A and B are shown apart, each in its own frame.
Chain A
Amino acid sequence: MRTSTKFKTAIITYMKNPVVFVFYFTALLSVVIGLLEPKFWSWVNIFDLLRNYAAWGIFTTAQVIILISGGIDVSFTAIATVAMYLLGLFMLNHTINNLMTSFIFVIAIGGILGSINGVFVYLTKVHPVIITIGTLSVYYNLLIHFTRGRWLYNLPSFYLDFGLLRIIQIKTSLGPPTGLSVLTVIWISIAVFTWIWLRYTKIGRKLFAIGGNIEAARRLGYNIFLLQLFAYTYAGILSGIGGFVYGAAAQFIQPNAIVGRELDVIAAAILGGASVFGGKGSPLGSVLGTLLLGIVRNALILLRIPSYWHSAVIGGIVIMATLFVALQTRYSSRR
């Protein structure tokens, strides 16, 4: 009797977790797409998908941190673009000539721009979306104004080779060999690392606390400024790394490739269980959310849906997710 009630509660909690729902939805979708288009399950397609979405996955992990702390960041696309583009410029004039320096460079740029966001969010106390719309336009437009926004080709070989590096190589019977890209490994390591410190360190738990109830956190004596600064700086650093990964995957640097796709990332974060009200979210969920959006986009291409309809389909999914989360919040707050 008792065990059955326990079992029921467990089932209900399980069903109420949006990440579980997203997981099954993603799995079901993959099976259906696989049946419609067998190419979906080929090694080449799977590894390409994992490689192409590495940068977006890193952005989503960054977004999850901010959402957990009760904020939102739309400027990460600009931070990534600035880091990636400046890196490209310095690589072309040979100021940066090895992998280590370039990695440290994007981390520094991302960290600086991210911390500016954090300072503004704390000082103004205005909703972070307004602040980050502002910083987005400052970062991006200053970059384009001073650099004229030309595409950068002929990047040095250490960077290009890194983008093509495979950790595990698989030979396919027909076509070129494929394998697990180092970029995918970077993405998953970042997600796992972030998950660990969020879960097991004091600062991670405090971020959940300020996102859940900032006033309560303040009265507990938490330093809100340092926590917010930390969240935005960390997200900025991840955005910078995301820019590095994006350029390495594309093999050239296009300044307008990332800006304008903020919603994809916010959607992926929310599909992965984060809440715009703060205090909720998981970096591992962000991987799932990114994969879901990636699989949908991949399927649209494989099923030959005209590209001009892609945004509408993604938009529809985001609306559904919003609706789902809203209904769920309502349901759970009533009980």
Chain B
Amino acid sequence: MKQSIFSILLVVILCLTIIGLYIGTSKQILSRVTLETIGYQMPVLGFLTFAQFIAMVNGGIDLSIISVANFAGIIAAILMKQHAFSALMATVSGLVGALLVGGVNGILVAVLKAPALLVTLATGFLVKGISLGITKGYIISGLPNSFVALGAGNLLGIPISFLLLLMVTCGLVLIFSRTAFGRSIYLVGANPLASLFSGISVKNVQLSVYIYSALLSGIAGLIMAARFNAAQADYGGGYLLITVLICVLGGVSPSGGAGRIVDVFIALSILQLISTGFNVMRASAYLATALWGLLLLGILIIARKIPKNVI
């Protein structure tokens, strides 16, 4: 009941955003071109946000998502360009690369009990370093068409990557609301010790959380590489803050244990609309990022003032 009030609030904000942008951009926000742009841009941010969501709901944080995403894109791009891998094999290899990093994160956090913050900061740095090393800092561009379709192709006018995002969103909704695994992610996030005593293997849950997080980041990276038709070690640096912002805006508690995929998806739509709207209005990207930061800080203060049982 309380949860649905929050969702309705988010939907209202979404509608207000659309109306505001409709006026602000003189109807351009709902034009075919703009909607198409949104359809192509949203999947990358969406997958990264879900990657962050899983870690945050579990009471951790994943600061390595951007590095992992670029790492996956670079592995795929190098294999296709220099070793003539097929698009499918390269994609799979990219994801395997991401999973490896996720495994390292997971082992360090779950088994060795190192703080997630420090672990993911460090692996992110290392992975970015490796990406820089294997690309020598250059951009790898000119990828095969079969791969580029992942980011730029469409099915009946709807971007393939957007369809993929919708499918994964539905899948995650089911996992988080209907499966024991999904419930245990929340429980471990809310209280790891109590979960342990109630028979949940905290170790396995945390390990899988970071592996899933890396998998979603890897997908984001592959879509990003396909959309830009290029891979590089430091694309998308600004996304990290935005993923945290969207999660917090979508009702994820920064201390773990609460938050729903549906709400996060609505929050994602709001931010993507505002971001694209800013572009249409030709506002500065720096100003936009500064505003995201202010918004994040503002929401955190407001969220603190509202008693827990209201949301």
Residues of B within 8 A of A131 (CB): 297, 300
- Supply 6 A–B pairs (Cβ within 8 Å), ascending by A: A127-B255, A133-B240, A141-B290, A266-B121, A315-B122, A315-B127
How far, in whole Å, are A72 and B118 apart by their CA atoms in the complex?
10
Interface pair B112/A323, CB less than 8 Å apart:
yes
Interface pair B118/A313, CB less than 8 Å apart:
no
Instruction: State the main secondary structure of chain A at its contact with B.
Output: helix
Using a Cβ cutoff of 8 Å, how many contacts connect chains A and B? Answer: 137
Tell me whether B130 is interfacial, beta carbon within 8 Å: yes
How far, in whole Å, are A123 and B130 apart by their CA atoms in the complex?
39
How far, in whole Å, are A319 and B109 apart by their CA atoms in the complex?
12
Tell me whether B87 is interfacial, beta carbon within 8 Å: no
Shortest distance between the CB of A299 and any CB in chain B (Å) = 16
**Stretch of B2-10, B132-140, B171-179, B264-272 lying at the A interface:** B132-140
User: Chain A CB within 10 Å — which of B292, B296, B301 has the most?
Assistant: B296
Residues of B within 8 A of A99 (CB): none
Interface pair B112/A314, CB less than 8 Å apart:
no
Tell me whether A134 is interfacial, beta carbon within 8 Å: yes
Name the CB-closest residue of A to B109: A326
Interface pair B115/A276, CB less than 8 Å apart:
yes
* A322-B108, A327-B112 known; A142-B304 Cβ under 8 A: no
* A127-B61, A315-B122 known; A137-B117 Cβ under 8 A: no
* A127-B61, A137-B292, A319-B123 known; A308-B244 Cβ under 8 A: no
Residues of A within 8 A of B112 (CB): 323, 326-327, 330
**Chain A residues in the interface with B (C-beta under 8 A):** 72, 120, 123-127, 129-131, 133-138, 141-142, 144-145, 260, 263, 266-267, 270, 276-277, 306, 308-316, 318-319, 322-323, 325-327, 329-330
Shortest distance between the CB of A108 and any CB in chain B (Å) = 21
* A315-B127, A318-B125 known; A323-B115 Cβ under 8 A: no
Residues of B within 8 A of A136 (CB): 293
**Stretch of B14-22, B31-39, B73-81, B281-289 lying at the A interface:** B281-289
Chain B contributes a number of interface residues (CB within 8 A of A) equal to 47
User: Chain B CB within 10 Å — which of A125, A315, A316 has the most?
Assistant: A315
Name the CB-closest residue of B to A277: B115
Taking a contact as CB atoms closer than 8 A, the residue among B108, B113, B132, B289 that contacts A312 in the complex is B132
* A138-B293, A322-B108 known; A310-B129 Cβ under 8 A: yes
User: Chain A CB within 10 Å — which of B61, B122, B301 has the most?
Assistant: B122
Q: Mark B239-274, 1 if CB is under 8 A from A, else 0.
A: 011001100100000110000000000000000000
User: Chain A CB within 10 Å — which of B117, B118, B304 has the most?
Assistant: B118
Residues of B within 8 A of A315 (CB): 122-123, 125-130
Interface pair B241/A133, CB less than 8 Å apart:
yes
Residues of A within 8 A of B127 (CB): 315
Taking a contact as CB atoms closer than 8 A, the residue among A123, A145, A260 that contacts B287 in the complex is A145
Residues of B within 8 A of A311 (CB): 125, 128-129, 132-133
Interface pair A141/B117, CB less than 8 Å apart:
no
Interface pair B304/A125, CB less than 8 Å apart:
yes
Tell me whether B119 is interfacial, beta carbon within 8 Å: yes
Taking a contact as CB atoms closer than 8 A, the residue among A130, A138, A142, A308 that contacts B254 in the complex is A130
Tell me whether B158 is interfacial, beta carbon within 8 Å: no
